[in-house]
Every structure is written in structure tokens, then in C-alpha cells.
Amino acid sequence: MAGQDALFEYLLRLGDNALILGHRLSEWCGHSPALEEDLALSNVALDLIGQTQLWLNLAGEVEGKGRNADKLAYLRDARDFRNVLLVEQPNGDFAVTMARQFYFDAWHYLLLRDLSGSKDGRIAEIAAKALKEVTYHLERSQEWVLRLGDGTEESHRRMQEAIDDLWVYTGELFEADAVDAAIIREGLGPDPASLRDLWLGLVRATAEEATLSLPQPGWVQKGGKQGLHSEHLGYILADLQFLQRAYPNATW
Amino acid sequence: MTDKKEWPLWEVFIRSQHGLSHRHVGSLHAPDAEMAIMNARDVYTRRNEGVSIWVVRASDISASSPSEKGPLFDPANSKVYRHPTFYDIPEELGHM
């Protein structure tokens, strides 16, 4: 795959992961189990939406067709979204939200750490800024996995279920395709496979401390990075894009 | 869930960017001290207010009783010599 095309795709992946997970977290706003948690989840959501703007604006710039972050977020169809399947999974209960967050944060943290050394200064700069935010996200979701896993009988049961149910979506984080190959070749980003052991180490250590057991590696549910999504993404986009679709170019 | 125990209340103290000491900013609920600090970060330092956070369980604070206000504080009223109003403080000294 040619350099600029691959870079555009790669930036969409980074931006779409942040956009869709940020949207999912924003669904908690006003519904969290405690006021403090409501604010905290909204803060994480806002961090991710901020990162989305940076990645997607850069994607638009690289593409060179006059699209900015707003156009890319509001006017693409599900098939053109490049987020991993993990982030579009429904919020479920609090344990599901936190398990999804923890799996993602641990990977996001490792990825951004490598990207902050990217040969492309623009990528390195965004990654360095996002890394500070994500370091905190990881600390927070990790603390919750510990507390719910090693909490009451019920919180343990729910957290274990969430860890099990979402496991099948984690494999996609480490699978490389032609886009990744081009990015690795040009020194712009890491080989996704190289993050797997670090991620597993981090997740395993936390799970053990939380008295949770990790499932065995097995069947991997994938396709999001290439635009093949679960049915959930359509509903997310209906929510997210309604205004711009119904009232094109509306501003406020 | 049948056991809906409330999280304990924590009092939050923040030292601001240029502040000299931690100031009480409010309270919040959290299951333990670590989470209380995280929650304080999210509730009270969203606009870059702080460089340091203290949390303390509200139940660990001993307070003076309002009914003892008279005996505790009134006697200081008539002792003007305890106030350092008789000294000139040089400009260079700054905050004191």
C-alpha cells in the first residue's frame, strides 16, 4: 500500500478508536452509579474526543481532499469507520464498561508510548499529548478492575463475566495488515504484534491481583480495522451523526 | 444488589498553582483513599486548579463545637497586643 494512503488509513484507525469509545463513555453521562464517577467518565470521554480531533484533522490533512475532523466524524458511513470492534461494544453494566476500558487503555498506553517516538513529528506530538491523558485513564480503569474483581461476590462475578465476554475482541488489537506493514516499514508506528506480550503482562498482573482469571487465547473476532463492524456501530452513528445528516452544515 | 452501602465521605484539600498551603475545596464520596484522590482530580482540578491533593475521611476530622464559641474565641478579642499591627513590613518581604 502506498505511503500516504496507508498513513490516512492508520490515522483514521487512531481517530476512530478514540471517537467511538469517547461516544460510548459519553452515554454514561447522567447515568453513572455516583456523581463522582459521572464526572470521571465524562472527563475520559472528553479526553478521547479531544484526541479524535487531533487524529482526524491530521488524517484530513494527509488525505488532501479538504475534509476535516468534523466531516470525517459526521459524514462517513459505518463501512468507512476503522475502529477496532472492542470500542463499539455496548456499555453493559459498570463492570463491562470498566473491563472494556481496561483492555483498551492498556493497549492504547503501549501504542501511544511507541508512537511518541514516531518518525513523523506530527504523530509523535499528538501521541505525546495523548499519552499523558491515557496514563491516567489506565490507572483509573485498572483500579476499578482491582476493586470490582477483588470486591464483593457479586462484583467479582460481574467483572469476571465482563473479562470473559470481551476477551474475544482483544486479539484484533495485535493483528497487522497491509496498512500496518506500510506504517512499520516507514518507521511511523510499531508492529501491533510487538505490543502483545507487554499488554498481556500488564493485563495478567492486574487480573491476578484482582483474583480474576484470563481466558485462554482462542478465536479472535476481528474486522473493525478494515471497516467490517458489528451491528452496534450503526446505532452509534445514528446517534452521533443525526444532526449533521438531518440538517447538513448546521452549526451552533 | 441488596447491600447498598454508601461510600464514605472525604474532605478534599487542594494546593493551587501559586498557593502556599492546601485549601479545603469541598467533599466527595469514594470507596477508599486512592479512589478519593482520583475522584478529587476529576471533580476539583478539571480547570488546572491544583498541583497537589490531600484527602481525609470526613469522619476523622474533629471539630470544635459551635456552642463553645464563646469560651474558645471571645477571650482573644480584647488582646490587641497579639496582633502584629505595630510593625512595618518591608515591601521586599512579599507574602507573609
Q: Quick one: pLDDT band at residue B72, thresholds 50, 70, 90?
A: confident
Closest CA to A133 of A148, A113, A149: A113
Size of interface A-B (CB pairs under 8 A): 31
Rounded to 5 degrees, φ, ψ at B19 are: -70, 155
Q: Distance, in angstroms, between A110 CA and closest chain B CA? A: 22
Residue B4 near chain A (CB below 8 Å): no
pLDDT tens string B9-29: 999 999 988 778 999 999 999
Tell me how far apart the alpha carbons of residues A241 and A238 are, in angstroms, rounded to a whole number. Answer: 6
Tell me how far apart the alpha carbons of residues B24 and B73 are, in angstroms, rounded to a whole number. Answer: 22
Give B29's contacts in chain A (Cβ within 8 Å).
34-36
Integer angstrom CA distances of residue B87 from A119, B71, B76, B91: 63, 29, 20, 12
pLDDT tens string A166-212: 999 999 999 999 999 999 999 999 999 999 999 999 999 999 999 99
> B28 vs A36: CB contact, 8 Å cut-off?
yes
pLDDT tens string A99-135: 999 999 999 999 999 999 999 999 999 999 999 999 9
In this structure, how many other beta carbons lie within 10 angstroms of the beta carbon of residue A133? Answer: 18
- The H or E element containing residue B11 is strand B9-16
Residue type, A15: G
Integer angstrom CA distances of residue A3 from A13, A102, A121: 15, 32, 16
**SS3 call for A237:** helix
pLDDT tens string A238-249: 999 999 999 998
Tell me how far apart the alpha carbons of residues B96 and B87 are, in angstroms, rounded to a whole number. Answer: 13
Specify whether the CB–CB gap between A166 and A177 falls below 8 A.
no
> A34 vs B38: CB contact, 8 Å cut-off?
no
B2 pLDDT more than 60:
no
> B35 vs A147: CB contact, 8 Å cut-off?
yes
Closest CA to A132 of A246, A57, A47, A217: A47
Q: Find the closest chain B residue to A152 by CA distance.
A: B3
Q: Distance, in angstroms, between A145 CA and closest chain B CA? A: 12
Eight-state DSSP code of residue A64: T
pLDDT tens string B19-62: 789 999 999 999 999 999 999 999 999 888 889 999 999 999 99
Determine which of A25, A32, A35, A36 to mutate to test the interface with B (most B C-beta atoms within 10 Å).
Answer: A36
Give the B window 50-89 contacts with A, CB below 8 Å.
none
And the C-alpha cell for A134? 491515557
Give chain B's domains with CATH numbers: 9-93 (3.10.20.520)
Whole-model pTM: value is 0.89
Sheet holding B9-16, edge to edge: B23-29, B9-16, B50-57
What percentage of chain A reaches a pLDDT higher than 90?
95
Q: What is the DSSP string of B47-76?
A: TS-EEEEEEEEGGG-----GGGHHHHHGGG
A216 pLDDT more than 80:
yes
Long-range contacts of B33-38 (CB under 8 A, 24+ apart): B34/A143, B35/A143, B35/A147, B36/B10, B36/B12, B38/A40, B38/A139, B38/A140, B38/A143
Give the A window 37-66 contacts with B, CB below 8 Å.
37, 39-40, 43
* Span between the terminal Cα atoms of chain A, in Å: 40
> A34 vs B3: CB contact, 8 Å cut-off?
no
When pLDDT is averaged across residues A125-148 and rounded to a whole number, the result is: 97
Eight-state DSSP code of residue B23: E
Task: Considering only the beta carbons, identify the residue of A40, A147, A154 that sits closest to B42.
Answer: A40
> A40 vs B39: CB contact, 8 Å cut-off?
yes
Supply the pLDDT for residue B49.
Answer: 80
Residue A154 near chain B (CB below 8 Å): yes
Tell me how far apart the alpha carbons of residues A171 and A218 are, in angstroms, rounded to a whole number. Answer: 9
Tell me how far apart the alpha carbons of residues A213 and A45 are, in angstroms, rounded to a whole number. Answer: 28
Specify whether the CB–CB gap between B11 and B58 falls below 8 A.
yes
When pLDDT is averaged across residues B79-94 and rounded to a whole number, the result is: 80
ipTM score of complex? 0.78
Eight-state DSSP code of residue A116: T
Q: What's the burial of A30, exposed, middle or buried (CB within 10 Å: 0-12/13-18/19+)?
A: exposed
Residue type, B83: H
